[in-house]
Amino acid sequence: MILHKTHSRMDLIDIINTLDIPIIFSHDDNKKSIHSKFKDLFESEINFKLDSNVYKITDKRDLQLYLQNPNIKKSLSVKEKSAVMNICKHIINYCNSGYMVENSTYYNDEQTIHDDVLYISQFGDIPSSRRACKLMNQNYMNKYNYQPIISPQMIKKLEDKKLTKQTKQYGAVFRKGLFTISFD
C-alpha cells in the first residue's frame, strides 16, 4: 500500500491521534517510518471500527482509501495559494471601498468580481477567503450568497475556537417553591 505524497508527517500523526489508531510512534519518527507503520497495520489481521469523527472514516478500509487519495487540505501549491490570496486582497479592498466599482483599484465590472468570489469560495480553509465571502455577503445590493467550502477538519477547529471564546453570562435564576427568609 502506498500513501499519497500530499499527506505530511503531521497530518499522519494527527490522523493517528484523532482516530486512536493502534500505531505506536515517536515524534522523532519521520514520514517514511510512519508510512511503514501504516503499511504494517494494513497488512496485519487487525480489524478495527472507529467512532464518528471529522474524517468520516469508519473502518480500516475507509482509512486505507483516505490515505491513498490526495489530501484534501493540501490542494494548493505555493503559487496557487499566493494567487488566491491576491484575489482575496482585491475583493476585500473592493468591499472596504464601499462596494463601488468606481472606487476599486483592480475591478472594472461586477461580473469579474462575481467570478473571482466564486473562484476563491472553493478554498474556504484559507481565512482570507472566508473573510472575503463574508464581506461580499454583507453587501445589501448583492444578489448572491457566497458560501465558502470548508473541510470537516477546519469546521471542527472553528467550532472549538468559537467555544473557547465564549463567555458565560450570569443572569437571574427563578425557582418555584417554599422559601423561608429570616432577617436579623
Q: What is the pLDDT of residues 36-66, one digit of tens each?
A: 888 888 888 777 777 777 777 888 888 888 8
Q: Could you tell me which of 15, 31, 8, 9 has the C-alpha nearest to residue 153?
A: 15
Tens of pLDDT, residues 122-140: 999 899 999 999 999 998 8
Q: Identify the DSSP state of 102.
A: G
Kindly tell me the burial class for residue 114, based on how many C-beta atoms sit within 10 Å of its own C-beta (0-12, 13-18, 19 or more). Answer: middle
76 pLDDT exceeds 80?
A: no
User: Please, what is the angle between helix 78-96 and helix 127-137, to 10°?
Assistant: 30
Contact between residue 23 and residue 13 where contact means Cβ atoms under 8 Å apart? no
* Amino acid 103: pLDDT: 85
The pLDDT of residue 69 is above 80: yes
172 pLDDT more than 90: no
Which sign, positive or negative, has the C-alpha torsion 95, 101, 104, 110? Answer: positive
Assign 158 to helix, strand or coil: helix
| Mean pLDDT computed over 65-81 | 82
Give tens-digit pLDDT for 83-130.
Answer: 999 999 999 999 999 998 888 888 999 899 999 999 999 999 899 999
Question: What's the pLDDT score for residue 1?
Answer: 66
Is the distance from CB of 11 to CB of 71 less than 8 angstroms?
yes
- Residues 5-33 have pLDDT tens digits of 888 888 888 888 888 888 888 888 888 89
Q: Which residue has the higher pLDDT, 48 or 1?
A: 48
Residues 170, 174, 178, 184: what is their CA dihedral angle, to the nearest 10 degrees? 40
CB 153 within 8 A of CB 109: no
What is the C-alpha separation between 101 and 132, in angstroms, rounded?
A: 16
